[in-house]
Amino acid sequence: MTSATTPSSTKPSGPRRPAPRSAPAAAEERIITLPDLSARLQEYLSPEAVAEVERAFHYAKAAHEGQMRKTGHPYITHPTAVAHILAGMRMDPQTLMAALLHDVIEDTGVGKKTLAEAFGSDVAELVDGVSKLTTIFKSRAEAQAENFQKMALAMARDIRVILVKLADRLHNMRTLGALAREKKERIARETLDYYAPIASRLGMNELRMEFEDLAFQALYPMRAERIGRAVQAARGHRKALMEEIAAALEKCLASEGIEARVLGREKHLFSIYQKMRQKQKAFADIMDVFGFRIIVDRPDTCYRVLGALHGLYKPLAGRFKDYIAIPKANGYQSLHTTLFGMHGVPIEIQIRTQQMEAVASNGIAGHWLYKSDEQSPSQARAREWVKGLLELQQRAGNSLEFIENLKIDLFPDEVYVFTPKGRILELPQRASPVDFAYAVHTDIGNTCVACRVDRRLAPLSVQLQSGQTVEIITSEDARPNPDWLSFVVTGKARSSIRHALKHQQVAESRTLGRRLLNRSLANVDTNLASLPSQRISDVLDELGFDTLDDLLEDIGLGNRMAYVVAQHLTQGGGEEAALTVEHGGPLAIRGTEGLVVAYGKCCYPLPGEPVVGHLSSGRGLVVHLEVCRNLAELRERNEALIPVRWAAEVDGEYSVELRVEVEARKGVIAELAAEITDADANIEKINIAERNAHLSTVVIALLVRDRVHLARIMRRLRRLTPVIGLARTRNI
C-alpha cells in the first residue's frame, strides 16, 4: 500500500529530527530549561548518561553565574539550547556535555585541564575545539580565518566538534533579534558564507535550510516577509493539485505492488529567493514546480519506482540524476527525476530509502540516529573532506588564503570523472585536468605536463565534464606553471601550486643571487668560495641574516643590491656603498632561471637583442631592451641597472606581440591562428583592437624561441592574402 500526505500533514516516521523552521518564526525561540533537556535525553539515553549530562549542566550554570545574554536571559539558556538541538540528533553524552560547556573556557576562568579532570579528556578536547581564539589579530577577517583554521584542526581529531559548532551557531541565529543591526548582518553573512555551506558539505540539509532562511530574514527582512506571505497564499491554491498528484503517484505505485511513502515537499524561502535572482524567474514560475519525495525500503526498490513513474508521466530529458550509484561528496544518495505531470505541470521527484532520508536530512549526524559500530559513508566522506582541509591549511601562506581555498571547496557543483583504472573522482564544475591531477596526488599535479581526456590529447585548461576519463601525463623534470592559477578551481590545486611555486622561487632566487654576487665580487678578482667563512659570517650578522642562503635569496628577489653586499664582504660596506655604480661583465641570461627572471611586457625582449637588467623588489631581475622607453624613467629615479646579455645557448619560449592589419572578412582570425600554429608557435591571446567595415587590427600575443623564429612567423603571415600590414609591438 502507498500513502500520500500534503506538506501540511507530512509527519515522517523513523528517528526524531528537529523540525525545519521558517525565517519569520526565528524571534519566537522559546527558552529551553533543564527539565526540557532531560525529557529529550530520557528518550534515548540511560539514566546514568542523563545524570552525567545534568552534572555538566550544573557545572556550566555555576561557571556562567551572573552572565547574561543580549536577550536578557541568563547565559546558561544558550548552552542548554545548543545541547537540546544536539539531543534532537541523538548525539552521545560526551557531545552533549561539550555543548553545555562549550563557552566555559572562553568566557569563564575554567581551563582545559580543569575540564578534563572533571569530565574527561574527550569532553575537554571537544570544548577546546569549539572555543574561539582569544588572540588579537590585525583584522576581523584574519581573526575569523584563524577561528576556522583551529576548528579544522579540532575536526580532524573529532568530527563531533563541527556538530557542536553548528548547533551553537544555529541557536545564535535563532536569537539574532536582540543584536544591533550591523552585528546581526555580519553574523548572518558569515552564516551564509561558511556555516550553511559546511552544513551542506556534511549532508545536514535541514540545518542548512534553517541557516539560510534565518540569515535571509536578518539580511533582507522585507524580502523574506513578502516571499513568506506569497508562499502562504500560494499554499492554499496548490493544496488541491498537490493532493491530486500525490493520489496519482500512490495509485501508480500500488498497481506495481510497491510499498512507499509519498511526501509533498516545499522549497524554503531562501531557495525561492535565490532562484528568482539567479535564474531571473518570477515567483509564480518557481511555485509552478511541484516537488515530491518517495521513501521506500531498499535501494533496488528505488529503481523500480523510477521505472513505474517514467511509465506514468513523461520524463524531462537531461533532468535524471543517479546519486545512489554515485553519491555526492557529503554522502547524499537519491534518485532525481523531473516529469511532465497532469495539466502539463512539472513534477520534481526524489526517490530514496529511509536510511538515505536520514542521511539527507542529518548528514554525519545520521550515524548517531542509526546506531552502528561501523563508520557511516557520510562520516567517512566528512573525514576525507576534513583531511583535505588540513592539507589546504598546511600549504596556505596565511589564514586568509586558507579561507579563500575553503570557500572554493564549500561550493562544489559536482562533476564526476574517472581515472584510467575506473576510480571515480568528484570535482567542482569548471574543474580542469590540473585539478584532477592534484585530486589524485599532489606529486601527480606538480609533475603533470599533458593530459588525455577520453583517450585524446587535450589542453590542461579544458573544463571537464561528468563521465569523462582523464589520464595525466607526467615528467620528473616538470614543475607547476604559474599560469595554472588562472584556471584551476579546487582549493587543493590552488594551494599546492602556490606552495610549489613559493619553494621553486626560493631555490631560483638563491641561484640568481649567487650569480649576481659572484659577478660583483669578480670586480676584485674573488668569489664566494674564496672568501673566509668568518668574513661571510660577520657580514651576515651585520646585515641581519641567519644564513648565506637567506642573503642570496634576498639578492635574487631584488630586495638588496649585489654590489653593496660585495662591498660589505670585501671592504666593510658603509653608507657610501649604496651610491657606488655597478661594474663588471654582463650577467648571462640563459632562459632557464624561472620565476626570478622576468621579461618586460613593455618591450618584449628576445634572445639575440641588446638587453639590460633592472632589479625589481620582490620580482627579481626584469630584462628590458636597451632602447626601451621605460628605462629612462628608471634612470631618473636613480635605480640600479645591471648589464646583462644573452648566453650562447638560450632555452625556453618568450612573449612577443604583433599588430596585424587585415581585411575585415569571415574566417580571417582562423587563418592567422592556423599559420602561427603551423610555424610551431603558441598563441597566448588574440583579440581585435580596432574594426570598421573594411579593415581590422588584430593584436596577437604569442610565444617564440628567438628572433629567427619570429622572423619566420612574420614572413608567413605577410604572405597571407588578407594581411595588409604587420608590425611587432615594442616600447621604443
Q: In degrees rounded to 5, what are phi and psi of residue 571?
A: -125, -5
> DSSP assignment of 672-719, as one string?
HHHHHHHTT-EEEEEEEEEE-SSEEEEEEEEEESSHHHHHHHHHHHHT
C-beta separation of 673 from 621 below 8 A = no
User: Terminal CA-to-CA distance of the chain, rounded, Å?
Assistant: 85
C-beta separation of 467 from 417 below 8 A = yes
Distance of CA 407 to the CA centre of its chain: 4
Q: Has 300 been annotated as catalytic?
A: no
Q: In degrees rounded to 5, what are phi and psi of residue 489?
A: -120, -20
SS3 at position 155: helix
Pairing of strands 597-599, 620-625: parallel
| The one catalytic residue among 36, 107, 158, 706 | 107
C-beta separation of 505 from 596 below 8 A = yes
Q: Has 106 been annotated as catalytic?
A: yes
C-beta separation of 193 from 108 below 8 A = no
Q: Longest C-alpha distance within the chain, in Å?
A: 99
Residue 566, C-beta contacts closer than 8 angstroms, at least 6 positions apart: 517, 520, 521, 523, 524
Nearest by Cα to 675 from 694, 660, 664: 660
Pairing of strands 290-296, 346-353: parallel
| The one catalytic residue among 106, 348, 550, 706 | 106
- Each residue of 374-392: b (16+ CB within 10 Å) or e? eebbbbebbeebbebbebb
d(CA 571, CA 531): 12
C-beta separation of 443 from 394 below 8 A = no
Distance of CA 281 to the CA centre of its chain: 28
**Residues labelled catalytic:** 106-107
